Structure 1
Amino acid sequence: MGGRRGRRLPRAPVEIGIDRLSHEGRGIGRHEDRTAFIQGALPGETVSAEIRRRRRRQEEGQALEVVGSVSADRVEPPCAHFGVCGGCSLQHMDPAAQVRHKADALAELLAHVGGVSPDHWLAPLTGPTAGYRRRARLGVKYVPRKGDRVLVGFRERFSPFVADIDSCHVLDARVGALLPALAALVRGLSIPDRIAQIEVAAGDEDVGLVFRNLRPLAPADREALIEFGTRHGLLLFEQPGNESTVAPLGHETMRLHYRLPDFDLDFAFAPTDFTQVNAAINRQMVNQAVDLLDAEPASRVLDLFCGLGNFTLPLARQAAEVIGLEGAESLVERGRENALGNGIDNARFAAADLTALEPTAASLGGPVDRVLLDPPRSGALEVLPSIGRLQPERIVYVSCGPSTLARDAGQLVHEHGYRLAAAGIMDMFPHTGHAEAMALFTR
């Protein structure tokens, strides 16, 4: 019983001194012999905090105000909904300080998890901190007890509920100001309680919104959605089932587009295809990866987790051949479509189970001297032994999970004879604790 009472949440705010930041950007301090992770707090500050969750050895909370001196890195959050909406976690921190923190976290992970350090640190890749987010899944919630209201947005912090917000600072500006209009649109449908989410997919020219409808749309619903799309210059889609059921509303367009102008490439993608969230960072990221891989006219390149060819096709502009392997058949089809559309005939795509892949020179049609890895957050541990046997001269690893990059870097260096030649972060998600990274390994 004493243990249960000890885990009861304090009724009043508590004061906590903050010593450092966690990798994801929460302030870390001590309170009643527990490690306290406090959102909205910065190192060197003492904050008054509300404790929201408590376990035996740690607790989580939200900073309410700074008591005493304020960190030099603290700024006024640019969004009025910061602290309620869970879409961002670091708007109280100067963007340059956010980047420094993410770079320090990568260095710590590489050293402590992988036991490695790069010969050279790459300059961080940075871009706009507002309106950058081209992909998002917005929650939709019908609340009949509050005057038949509909909420559209991200989830609240510390809560599964949809936050009550009227704009989004980080969403593509073509969508970020439309949240109240989208809520009014859903509220006027015959099935406001059966729209589960709205998926945002923005290209360079057009923005697609995919409405996940759990019941069929009535004719009047279709008319309302079509009129909304026309009025706001958006491409609307319905999705009554899995991704194969996505269908356009009031138009015949099934592809959005983005360009990589430095390679004279145009990429077509379906609204539910995976594409990079941040277009400005993606362009820098592709340029840097191609430069680091340093493919020559005779090079054969293996691109693992290749998606729709975001790296495959730029590399094909330099190499003799690029082989793109991807787990999702739909993205393999898109990669082939994009190669054809851009007149590229030296890139080939194939579907493969990348968790059980054992590529050999024979299965790849000959040796490869370059490998590009762009795995999911879980990393690329399963394919590292096969890559080691292929013995490419250079490996560029693009990571959306620095902790698994650090783990895999340790394997490549300590088990497979590679050197960590360079590494650096990419600020793909400003104002959040999420960091992405890139590393170059050489034999």
Structure 2
Amino acid sequence: MPVARIESLDHEGRGVTHHEGKVIFVDGALPGETIDFSPYRKKASYELAQISRIVRPSPQRVTPRCRHFGNCGGCSMQHLDVAAQASAKQRVLEDALWHVGRVKPETVFAPLVGPGWGYRYRARLSVRYVPRKGGVLVGFREKKSSYVADMDSCEVLPPHVSALLLPLRALIDGFSLRDRLPQIEVAIGGEREEQMTVLVFRILEKMTAEDEAALRAFAETYALHIYVQPGGPDTAVPFWPMPIPELAYSLPDFGVKLAFAPTEFTQVNHGINRSLLRRAMSLLAPQKGERIADMFCGLGNFSLPIASLGADVVGIEGADALVKRAARNAAANGLAERSSFAVANLFEITPESYAALGRFDKMLIDPPREGAMELVKSLPHSADEAAPSRIVYVSCNPATLARDLEVLIVQKGYRLRGAGIANMFPQTSHVESIALIERA
């Protein structure tokens, strides 16, 4: 059986080593460990493997807190100390910047970290009726599988949501349409004293009167607010109790509060979101009189803090509903005069359509996983007076961040002043990061 020493972690949290000219990716292995491994998939240049025996464990290896770890696909790094997880993600970011983008930051920012457990204020739970497993299952998907994990608790969900998993199974198991309910979305807003938890039930057929009565009783027993969703996200409507107040989260550092619908995108980790905003605003340094673009602005998570610091912000977003939400949030916070929002497909932007937006002094970019390639290609060269003097780029994908930074640094003449990670998703391999780009 092959023996190897693990060299690093990859972007999926697997241990990486080399053996007989191949790269070996080992599930659950940690850097510095010596292990026996057993391949389960072989390709010409690499193999996927599992640990057969740990010969010498890493001092950073810990016992996973969750008993479903390894089966549930929601987490992949519970076996690594949470502080070490941040360091590992920083290395993933730096490796991507160099190997994908051929760029290095002048400064590596200290990781932004927070609580390692109970942090997920948003979640999408799968539901499946499985008679051979005793009825309905509610939870995350199994690792590398479309099956729903048989779980009765979750350590990354807030405790009161984790405690709902078994009652939800019993509730849905009693529904007449238990095999027509594939998903429950969780959204939490407010502070501890006024915390509000919404469950959005994706129900594909009309409920019977008995189903509706059971769902109302469930909401009242557990102090929940219930939406039902017969189709896409836009079809979600309040169900019980009525009327349902709006969800919202606050950003105390900037004196703003943002309302959101339960199916609209918000960050899952409220604490790290606040830390990320503090760093972003420190790096961007909005000033009165500046005109700043917030590209992929969503419902105004970055736009409103920019405006609260005195700059004029222009938020651009592809989803009309989010643009309207951002404008309402700006008005509700008294920031409408310093905020404007527009709908545009930033994946199809051109130098000409970018120029039509007018000159921006600075820019914040916060794209989805696909990155912002067409946007960065459309920016003027940094030597051009029309180019933003400073860009803060927030990313949820190190590979597309690195690709886009190569354009900004190599082709557009900017400098990568700094970059670092925010541990938005502890216990997972997900890497959230932030980079500062300035004129040379």
AA partner of residue 434 (structure 1): H
- Structure 2 alignment gaps of length 5 or more: none
Deviation at 1:384, TM superposition (A): 1.0
Q: Does 1:18 align with 2:9?
A: no
Deviation at 1:48, TM superposition (A): 5.1
Q: How many residues are paired up?
A: 428
**Partner residue in 1 for 2:218:** 228
- Structure 1 alignment gaps of length 5 or more: 1-12
Q: Once structures 1 and 2 are overlaid, which stretch shifts more, 274-283 or 318-327? A: 318-327
Deviation at 1:30, TM superposition (A): 4.9
Q: Does 1:212 align with 2:202?
A: yes
Deviation at 1:29, TM superposition (A): 3.3
CA deviations on 1:285-331 (whole Å, 9 max, x unpaired) are 11111111111111000110000000001000123310000011111
Q: Distance in 1 between matches of 2:176 and 2:148?
A: 21
2:267 to 257, 276, 281: 276
Contact kept? 1:214, 1:240, Cα under 8 Å? yes
Q: Does 1:388 align with 2:359?
A: no
Q: Does 1:422 align with 2:418?
A: yes
Q: Does 1:298 align with 2:289?
A: yes
1:404 to 400, 414, 420: 400
**Partner residue in 2 for 1:252:** 243
Q: Distance in 2 between matches of 1:410 and 1:331?
A: 30
Deviation at 1:46, TM superposition (A): 3.6
**Partner residue in 2 for 1:441:** 437
Flag the 1:431–1:84 CA change in 2: closer, same or farther, 3 A: same
1:50-65 mapped onto 2 (5 Å cutoff) = 51-63=39-51, 65=53
Q: Distance in 2 between matches of 1:380 and 1:21?
A: 26
Q: Distance in 2 between matches of 1:382 and 1:254?
A: 39
Contact kept? 1:388, 1:412, Cα under 8 Å? no
Deviation at 1:20, TM superposition (A): 2.6
**Partner residue in 2 for 1:29:** 17
Query: 3-state SS of the aligned residue for 2:7?
Result: strand
Contact kept? 2:280, 2:392, Cα under 8 Å? yes
**Partner residue in 2 for 1:341:** 332
Q: Distance in 2 between matches of 1:16 and 1:234?
A: 51
AA partner of residue 128 (structure 1): P
Q: Distance in 2 between matches of 1:52 and 1:159?
A: 16
Q: Does 1:77 align with 2:64?
A: yes
CA deviations on 1:198-246 (whole Å, 9 max, x unpaired) are 1111112211111111211111111111111111111111111112221
CA RMSD of aligned residues (A): 1.9
AA partner of residue 416 (structure 1): K
Q: Distance in 1 between matches of 2:133 and 2:355?
A: 65
Q: Distance in 2 between matches of 1:254 and 1:61?
A: 50
Q: Does 1:376 align with 2:368?
A: yes
Deviation at 1:23, TM superposition (A): 2.6
Q: Distance in 1 between matches of 2:9 and 2:96?
A: 14
Query: 3-state SS of the aligned residue for 2:379?
Result: helix
2:90 to 98, 103, 107: 103
Q: Distance in 1 between matches of 2:36 and 2:137?
A: 30
Q: Distance in 2 between matches of 1:64 and 1:79?
A: 22
Query: 3-state SS of the aligned residue for 2:56?
Result: coil
**Partner residue in 1 for 2:108:** 121
TM-score (norm 2): 0.92
**Partner residue in 1 for 2:156:** 170
1:136-215 mapped onto 2 (5 Å cutoff) = 136-147=123-134, 149-204=135-190, 205-215=195-205
CA deviations on 1:140-188 (whole Å, 9 max, x unpaired) are 11012333x1111111113221111110010122212211111111101
Deviation at 1:52, TM superposition (A): 4.5
Query: 3-state SS of the aligned residue for 1:306?
Result: coil
Flag the 1:48–1:197 CA change in 2: closer, same or farther, 3 A: farther
Contact kept? 1:174, 1:207, Cα under 8 Å? no
Contact kept? 2:35, 2:56, Cα under 8 Å? no
Contact kept? 2:354, 2:378, Cα under 8 Å? no
Flag the 1:278–1:92 CA change in 2: closer, same or farther, 3 A: same
Query: 3-state SS of the aligned residue for 1:319?
Result: coil
**Partner residue in 2 for 1:40:** 28
Q: Distance in 2 between matches of 1:343 and 1:126?
A: 31
**Partner residue in 2 for 1:7:** none
Q: Distance in 1 between matches of 2:53 and 2:199?
A: 38
Query: 3-state SS of the aligned residue for 2:297?
Result: coil
Contact kept? 1:361, 1:367, Cα under 8 Å? no
Query: 3-state SS of the aligned residue for 2:100?
Result: helix
Deviation at 1:60, TM superposition (A): 2.6
Deviation at 1:137, TM superposition (A): 1.1
Q: Distance in 1 between matches of 2:300 and 2:117?
A: 27
Q: Distance in 2 between matches of 1:181 and 1:61?
A: 37
**Partner residue in 1 for 2:344:** 352
Contact kept? 1:229, 1:235, Cα under 8 Å? yes
TM-score (norm 1): 0.92
Flag the 1:159–1:32 CA change in 2: closer, same or farther, 3 A: farther
Contact kept? 2:414, 2:437, Cα under 8 Å? yes
Deviation at 1:375, TM superposition (A): 0.6
Q: Distance in 2 between matches of 1:362 and 1:43?
A: 47
Contact kept? 1:127, 1:281, Cα under 8 Å? yes
Deviation at 1:268, TM superposition (A): 0.5
